[in-house]
Amino acid sequence: METAVVNLLLILLPTQLGLHLWPSWAFVNGIRVDYFSPTLYLTDVLIFLLFLSVIFNLASRSFGTQFKIFNKYSIFKLLIFIGFTTLNIYWSLSSWVTLYKWLKVIEFGFLIWYLVKSYKLTPIKSGLKAISLLYVPVFYESILAIWQFVNQSSIGGFWYWLGERSFNSGTPGIANADVAGQLILRPYGTFPHPNILGGFLAVVLPLLLCLFLHNSRKLTAPAVIKGATLLLGYSTLFLSLSRTAILVGMAATFVVFWPKIKKRVFLLVFLVPLIFLLPRFAALPLETEPIIIREQLNSLAIEQFTHSPIWGTGLGTAPLYSIVRQPTHNIYLLLLAETGAIGLLGFLFLIRQFWSWTLAIILLLGLTDHYFLTLQQGQLLLAVVLGAGIMKRWPR
């Protein structure tokens, strides 16, 4: 059962089907704030089923010594975590919001613990075997995103049940892009924003490409299907028009691809798509609204940090400081503001413990966005990368 649940969790990782609740503390000045809404996602249900299975196995002692939970050192770390969490909730600008966010941390912390125990941090064999399932979400997200791009609107129907939101190019606040003087709707897939779709692909595609080049020695039917899926995925990455995701994703692809093929062929594959995207990157004046808003959010994060530099103002409370009710688009400033210097140091310690090249991709993307810490799909992807130990090094 556990294997089936984990497999299903990986396959449904990009989905956002969930039940949103709206208690009084999820409103600010009478306006609902999505980041404050307690939400039960389908992927949460799967993690809970995994938790129940672990509890049952522990109760029946079927785990044996392999799943020994605590030692003296881990108990000490747990006590530090409980103490810091309690203080962060107590000093929070919104204790209920912060309590909910820490419960999410505990949920994904359990998932990381389970994956670490299951894969034993063997990055090449177990890690690559685990991520092979991500071909499935890359395939259906690419099909949906390309369909949305051609249709210039959401598709609806079955896709609604995977979390697709209803929109078109005229929807207020929708992400459009100016391409060659024409306003184009950027595809969302089942994600809340095209940048998150791009970020998901920037992390997953280099891993799948690494697996493909490592294992696909012959031209078989499965290899052709996987190759076609990768082609769809990279096409969708470019269609997302997410500058940071494209740059980081292609840089990671460069690292994977370089030792494998002739350099001239690589330059052709690598540079031709970027030539077509040059207008998108060139048309980025520093005074555009997204840049200005990001600068303002960064300044607010620093101001928030000065109010409580040690404990922070409470996990999840950054939108309270912002008129646009969004977190800072930088995970490091976000942690510094919400959890203070102690929280940021704890995060850096976690990075050191779980360092991998895949994590490096996430850390680079985190310089310009926040979804790995604030949104379900980003948090789940981060937990999988940390827990499955993918990858300590690129296989050659």
Mean pLDDT of 255-270: 65
Whether residues 80 and 209 fall in one domain: no
Residues 108 and 152 in one domain: no
Which residue is it, tokens 């985190």? 366
> What pLDDT is stored for residue 243 in this prediction?
87
If asked whether residues 110 and 152 sit together in one domain, one would say no
Judged by average pLDDT, the poorest of 281-290, 351-360, 363-372 is 281-290
Of the candidates 117, 129, 66, the one whose C-alpha atom is nearest the C-alpha of residue 387 is 117
- Is 239 found in the same domain as 167? yes
Phi, psi of 28 (to 5 degrees): -130, 115
Whether 5 and 50 have beta carbons less than 8 Å apart is answered as yes
Name the band, by pLDDT with cuts 50, 70 and 90, for residue 321.
Answer: confident
Give yes or no for a contact between 389 and 126, defined as CB atoms under 8 angstroms apart. Answer: yes
Looking at the predicted structure, is the pLDDT value of residue 18 above 60?
yes
CA 236, CA 150: separation in Å to the nearest integer? 12
pLDDT of 123 reads 46
Q: Give a yes or no: residue 66 inside a domain.
A: yes
Size (the chain), residues:
396
Mean pLDDT is lowest, of 45-59, 69-83, 316-330, for: 69-83
Q: How far, CA to CA in Å, does 144 sit from each of 153, 268, 356?
A: 11, 27, 30
Q: What proportion of the chain, given as a percentage, has pLDDT over 70? A: 83
Phi, psi angle pair for 303, to nearest 5°? -65, -40
The C-alpha atoms of residue 47 and residue 61 are separated, in whole angstroms, by 21
Answer with the one of 233, 261, 282 that is the final residue of a domain.
282
Q: Please tell me the number of Cα atoms within 13 Å of 311 on its side-chain side.
A: 16
For 355, list phi and psi in degrees, rounded to 5: -55, 135
Whether 368 is covered by a domain: the verdict is no
Q: Assess if residue 70 is contained within a domain.
A: yes
Please compute the mean of the pLDDT values over residues 252-272 and round it to a whole number: 67
Give pLDDT, residue 108: 96
Residues 11 and 88 in one domain: yes
Strands, E, within 218-261: which ranges?
none
| Residue 244: both structure tokens together | 């940071």
CA-nearest of 202, 213, 207 to 133 is 207
Whether residues 163 and 188 fall in one domain: yes
- Banded pLDDT at 124 (limits 50, 70, 90): very low
> What integer pLDDT is reported at residue 215 of this predicted model?
73
- 64 plus 162 within the same structural domain: no
Per-residue model confidence as pLDDT tens digits over 169-201: 888 888 888 777 788 899 999 999 999 999 999
Reply yes or no: is the peptide bond before residue 391 cis, omega within 30 of 0.
yes
Residue 102: what residue type? W
How many domains would you assign to the chain? Answer: 2
Question: Of 23, 56, 381, which is closest to residue 203 (Cα–Cα)?
Answer: 381
| Inside any domain, residue 288 | no
Look at the block and give the residue holding tokens 């959890």: 339
249 and 312, same structural domain?
no
Domain final residue pick, 233, 258, 282: 282
Residue 327 backbone zone (phi > 0: left; psi -120 to 50: alpha; other: beta): beta
* CA–CA gap between residue 338 and residue 316 (Å, rounded): 7
Same-domain check for residues 49 and 177? no
Alpha carbon distance 361, 347 (integer Å): 16
Q: Are residues 91 and 181 in the same domain?
A: no
- Mean pLDDT, residues 102-122 taken together: 85
Q: Is the pLDDT of residue 260 over 90?
A: no
- More confident: 124 or 149: 149
pLDDT of 290 above 90: no
Q: Is residue 369 part of a domain?
A: no
pTM greater than 0.75 (yes/no): yes
The pLDDT value given to residue 85: 96
Secondary-structure breakdown of the chain: helix, strand, coil percentages, each rounded to the nearest 5: 65, 5, 30
Q: Does 66 score more than 60 pLDDT?
A: no
Characterize the bridge pairing of strands 18-20 and 176-179: unpaired
- Residues 273 and 299 occupy one common structural domain: no
pLDDT digits 0-9 by tens, 24-36: 999 988 889 999 9
Q: Which H or E run includes 70?
A: none
Closest-CA residue to 331 (of 349, 314, 318)? 318
Confidence of residue 347 (pLDDT cuts 50, 70, 90): very high
Domain carrying residue 104 = 2-119+295-353
Lowest mean pLDDT among 38-47, 153-162, 268-277, 338-347: 268-277
> In degrees, to the nearest 5, what angle opens at C-alpha 167 toward C-alphas 164 and 169?
135
| pLDDT higher than 80, residue 217 | no
Per-residue pLDDT, 146? 96
Judge whether 87 lies within some domain: yes
Domain boundary among 336, 353, 370: 353
Residue 385 counted as domain residue: no
**pLDDT average, residue stretch 257-273:** 62
- Assess whether 157 and 66 both reside in one domain: no
